[in-house]
Amino acid sequence: MRSLQRVFAVAGKEIRQLSRDRLTFGMIVGVPLIMIMLFGFAINLDVRNLRTGIVDEAGSQLSRQLVADLVATQVVEIVAREESVEALEAAMQRNEIVVGLHIPSDIERRLADPNRAAAQLLVDGTDPLIAGIAAGIVAMPFDARPSVAAPPPRTLFSARAFFNPEQRSAVMIVPGLIGVILTFTMVLFTAVAIVRERERGNLELLITTPVRTTELMVGKILPYIAIGLIQVTLILLVGALLFDVPVRGTLTDLYLASAVYIAAVLGIGLLISTIAKIQFQAFQLTFFVMMPSILLSGFMFPFDGMPTAAQYIAQVLPLTHFIVIVRGIVLKGAELADLLEPLRNLGIVFLVSMTLAVVRFRKRLD
Amino acid sequence: MDATQATDSVIATDATRANGAGDPAIVATGLTRRFGRTVAVDSVDLEIPRAKIYGFLGPNGCGKSTTFRMLCGLLTPTEGEVSVLGHSIPRDAEKLRPLIGYMTQQFSLYRDLSVRENLDFLGKVRGLSRRRRRERIEASLETYDLGRLARRRPENLSGGERQRLALAAAVLHEPPVLLLDEPTSAVDPRTRRGFWDSLFELIEHDVTILVSTHYMEEAERCHQLAILDRGRLVAEGEPKTLIGELAHTVLEVEGEHLGRLRQRIAELGIARSVAQLGNRLRVLLEPGDPDAAGLVGAAIAGSGASIAETRPGLEDVFVASTQSDRDL
């Protein structure tokens, strides 16, 4: 009873302070909004309008048709016509173009020979995405061969994109973004939670009271679970309104899973708070968690393509498990019962980090 | 220790505060704390009586705060034992939390919560029932003249107001032992006076108060005083007794061009300290030399300055017992 009173006392105090801290309050709403705009609009995996330069040595009707077909895909936009391949390379070095197309004078003859490429594509390899797009252009069918009796082009596979048939990047990114935003804000908020009290001297008073470490920790994270769920709501709303991201599973499942995930990242935040001596260190440690979370969790790059070592490291990061859960519920319409394993992993992260935080925190100054 | 606790609990049925009324509130033996190689507190023995104001006097870095923190279980002693109200520290530190009120040196309440919210939070954390909390908060606001500030936040309060709030927070749960770590360092003398009046009121309610300070006028108000220097207990007793027992002689030299005189007296090598106060020099002579006063008289002869022996004060006791290096 007293224990509960103390937990709520700490939680209530935390909410009061939060409501008076404009910067933090702004971050609760501002960070999700800014990040979803940034990721939703700027990070666009459907690449269009690549700046392209052309050298057309053939100058024939066929070569003009080839260029027209290429432009029609909207993947490239012709911005320069050069006289030689060397000029194309120079333009690429000056970053005027990222793709160069060289149509040789003997293109008709080359087209007739199945062992030779008809034309050459020069690609700026410094950007992996552009290189990938170029591979798509190479596979482009071109059947304008009136003079040649070539067999119709054969395809080995036909691909169907499940769950996101239009292959829109917003649909791929927004659900994972819920996890990224929660990691960032939640870890940061709790990481400074105890450090701040230490810096302001409050802790010296607090530890002379009968409040137990566990009560203090639980009281500190309770308000943030609610705040995290508010952020989830915000991201889902913006995702649905601006980017047309569907939620195929049930909202109850999504909120329950999010609550578990929030608890796990809050636990990590608290652990950081018991390690850092000053708020600046807490910020540094937060980024130490943030970077691998974004890179290794499968949010940016497919998890299966990572080296085994990276996959092991990723297992420790709660975001890895949450990405599976959130994409499952939002995009695939999965239920919690389908996601027991990642949920259990999140539970483990929560318990381990909370236990370590409680053990590390001393009601002493030495 | 266990036997004492057993007797305590029998008597406790009658009146909790009266248990072992003759016993000291706090006993420390061989209290030592090291931080790495530095010894912050060095084998200090203390016996602090109940319902008295017990002062710790000492220069900065003498180990006052460290001793305080060990007495309330915030720091673990490297060596030695502490017993507060019959509870041994650090073993029973958690049991003692409700019995101790602690006012930290730096203001440690929440600056972004109002006066009332701060008290309410502490009341809850301290486990006071809703009714008792309301009673105690109202009483504290009244006693410490905080009523009209109840809605204000400490960030907008004056030093004296903050200090009253900190004291109100420390005694909210009516602890029998109160530790005040340099409580008046940020307030003016008048506020300090009012503050001490409220401390003496608490003594009437059988509260044992420990206060650390480096103000002489504050130290003089204590029932008993411990003077610490470099982690060692160098003097202990009632302020009056300490002054009476001082073996040093104090001379006052009054005149012009005191800087030159000061140097001349210092060069004699018989003074513990020479301090200038306006147009007077206060000379604290080392004990045991009956001719010392005569030597000082000879040293200033011809300067036109007058010389007279004067009654020592607490500051002389402090200087005599704390500085091993001569302050000349």
Q: Is residue A337 part of a domain?
A: yes
For residue B121, the chain A residues in CB contact (below 8 A) are 9, 12-13
On chain A, the residues whose CB falls within 8 A of the CB of B155 are none
What pLDDT digit, counting tens, does each position of B222-278 carry?
999 999 988 899 889 999 999 988 888 898 988 888 888 888 888 888 888 888 888
Q: How remote is the C-alpha of A199 from its chain's centroid?
A: 34
Q: Mean pLDDT throughout B214-229?
A: 90
In a domain, A301, yes or no: yes
Amino acid making up residue B60: N
Q: Which amino acid makes up residue B230?
A: R
d(CA A152, CA A69): 17
Is the distance from CB of A299 to CB of A319 less than 8 angstroms? yes
In chain A, what percentage of residues exceed pLDDT 70? 91
**Both structure tokens of A314:** 């990723």
Q: Give the per-residue pLDDT at B327.
A: 47
List phi, psi (to 5°) of B273. -155, 150
The parent domain of residue A108 ranges over: 50-138
Note the pLDDT of residue A167.
66
Amino acid symbol at A155? T
* The pLDDT of residue A267: 94
Residue A163, in any domain of the structure: no
Q: Which two tokens stand for residue A182?
A: 């929660």
Distance CA(B159)–CA(B112), nearest Å, equals 16
Q: Determine the pLDDT at residue A118.
A: 79
Q: With pLDDT > 90 as the criterion, what percentage of chain A qualifies?
A: 35
Look at residue A1 and tell me if it is in a domain: no
Query: Which bin fits B229, alpha (ψ -120 to 50), beta or left (φ > 0)?
Result: beta
Sequence-separated contacts (24+) of A284-290 with Cβ below 8 Å: A285/A191, A286/A184, A286/A187, A286/A188, A286/A191, A289/A183, A289/A187, A289/A317, A290/A183, A290/A184, A290/A187
One domain, residues A281 and A327 = yes
- Does residue A273 share a domain with residue A342? yes
pLDDT, average across residues B204-208: 92
Residues A34 and A62 in one domain: no
- Lowest mean pLDDT of A44-48, A249-253, B47-51, B105-109, name the range: A44-48
Please give the pLDDT value at position B69.
87
Beta bridge partners of B44: B31
Domain containing A120 — which CATH number? Answer: 3.40.190
* pLDDT, tens only, B173-202: 999 999 998 888 777 888 888 889 989 999
A2-16, A120-134, B14-28, B95-109: the lowest-pLDDT one: B14-28
Q: Tell me if A295 sits within 8 A of A159, measured CB to CB.
A: no
Same domain? A184 vs A206:
yes
Which one is predicted more confidently, B10 or A300? A300
Give φ, ψ of B317 to 5 degrees. Answer: -60, -45
Pair (A54, A18) in one structural domain: no
Question: How confident is the model at residue B123, as a pLDDT?
Answer: 95
Residue the block writes with tokens 């024939």: A60
**Alpha-carbon span B121 to B271, nearest angstrom:** 54
Q: Which residues are CB-contacts of B211 (< 8 A; sequence separation ≥ 6)?
A: B53, B54, B55, B56, B179, B180, B183, B199, B218, B222
For the beta sheet containing B53-57, the strands, ordered from the edge strand earlier in sequence to the opposite edge, are B100-103, B177-181, B208-213, B53-57, B224-229, B232-237
pLDDT tens digits for B28-74?
999 999 998 888 999 999 999 999 999 999 888 888 889 988 988 88
* Residues A179-217: tens digit of each pLDDT: 999 999 999 889 888 899 989 989 888 988 989 999 999
Residue appearing with tokens 């008076």? A20
Instruction: Check whether residue A54 and residue A130 sit in a common domain.
Output: yes
Residue at which a domain ends, from A138, A154, A178: A138
Alpha-carbon distance of B193 to B198, in angstroms, equals 9
Q: Which fold has domain B2-239?
A: Rossmann fold (3.40.50)
Given a contact cutoff of 8 angstroms between Cβ atoms, the answer to whether B283 and B274 are in contact is yes
| pLDDT tens digits, one per residue of B71-125 | 888 888 999 999 999 899 878 888 888 999 999 888 999 999 999 999 999 999 9
Given an 8 Å threshold on Cβ–Cβ distance, is A364 in contact with B73?
yes
- Interface residues from chain A to B (CB-CB < 8 Å): 2, 5-6, 8-10, 12-13, 16-17, 20-21, 200-211, 363-366
Are both A208 and A93 inside the same structural domain?
no
Contacts for A107-115: CB closer than 8 Å, 24+ residues apart: A107/A58, A107/A60, A107/A62, A107/A63, A107/A66, A108/A58, A108/A60, A108/A62, A108/A147, A111/A62, A111/A145, A111/A148, A111/A150, A112/A145, A112/A147, A112/A148, A112/A150, A114/A150
How many residues are recorded in chain A?
Answer: 366
State the pLDDT at residue A154: 57
Q: Are residues A64 and A185 in the same domain?
A: no
Q: What's the gap in Å between the CA of B137 and the closest CA on chain A?
A: 16
A320-353 pLDDT, tens per residue? Answer: 999 999 999 998 888 899 999 999 999 999 999 9
- Look at A210 and B169 and tell me if their CB atoms are within 8 Å: no
Min CA distance, B99 vs chain A (Å)?
10
CATH code that applies to domain B247-311: 3.30.70.100
Average pLDDT over residues A43-61: 81
Q: Tell me, what amino acid is at A81?
A: R
Can you tell me the distance from the alpha carbon of B136 to that of A355, in angstroms, rounded to the nearest whole number?
Answer: 36
Q: Which pLDDT value is given to residue A234? A: 93
A256 and A296 both lie in a single domain: yes
Q: Residue A180's closest CA among A329, A39, A350?
A: A39
pLDDT greater at residue B135 or residue B301? B135
How many pairs of residues across A and B have Cβ atoms under 8 Å apart?
74
For range A308-317, the mean pLDDT: 89
Of A82-86, A312-316, B300-304, minimum mean pLDDT range: B300-304
Please indicate, yes or no, whether residues A175 and A310 belong to a single structural domain of this protein.
Answer: yes
Question: pLDDT grade, residue A127 (50/70/90)?
Answer: confident
Every domain of chain B and the residues it spans:
2-239, 247-311
Task: Mutate one of B84, B110, B152 to test the A interface: name it (highest A CB count within 10 A).
Answer: B110
* A182 and A287 part of one domain: yes
Overall number of domains in chain A: 2
| Mean per-residue pLDDT of chain B | 85
Provide, rounded to the nearest whole percent, the portion of chain B with pLDDT above 70. Answer: 91
Cα A331 vs. chain centroid, distance in angstroms? Answer: 15
> Could you tell me the CA-to-CA distances from A65 to A62, A70, A143, A154, A287 in Å, in that order?
5, 9, 11, 22, 52
Q: Has residue B15 got a pLDDT over 90?
A: no
- CA A173 to CA A38: how far, in whole Å? 11
Per-residue pLDDT at B191: 81
Check CB contact of B76 with chain A, cutoff 8 Å.
yes
Q: Is residue A218 part of a domain?
A: yes
pLDDT of residue B167: 92
Top residue of B125, B126, B132, B133 to mutate, by most chain A CBs within 10 Å, is B125
Burial class, A133, CB count within 10 angstroms (exposed 0-12 / middle 13-18 / buried 19+)? buried
The predicted pLDDT at position A194 comes to 86
Q: Which of A204, A206, A210 sits opposite B127 (nearest CB)?
A: A210
> Do the domain assignments include residue A156?
no
Which pLDDT score, from 0 to 100, does residue B10 have? 37
Q: Does residue A55 have a pLDDT over 50? A: yes
Are residues A122 and A213 located together in one domain of the fold? no
Q: Up-side HSE of residue A125: CA atoms within 13 Å toward CB?
A: 3
Residue A317 placed within a domain: yes
CA distance A251 to A134: 40
A143: pLDDT confidence band, cut at 50, 70 and 90?
A: low
**Residue A148: its pLDDT value, please?**
46
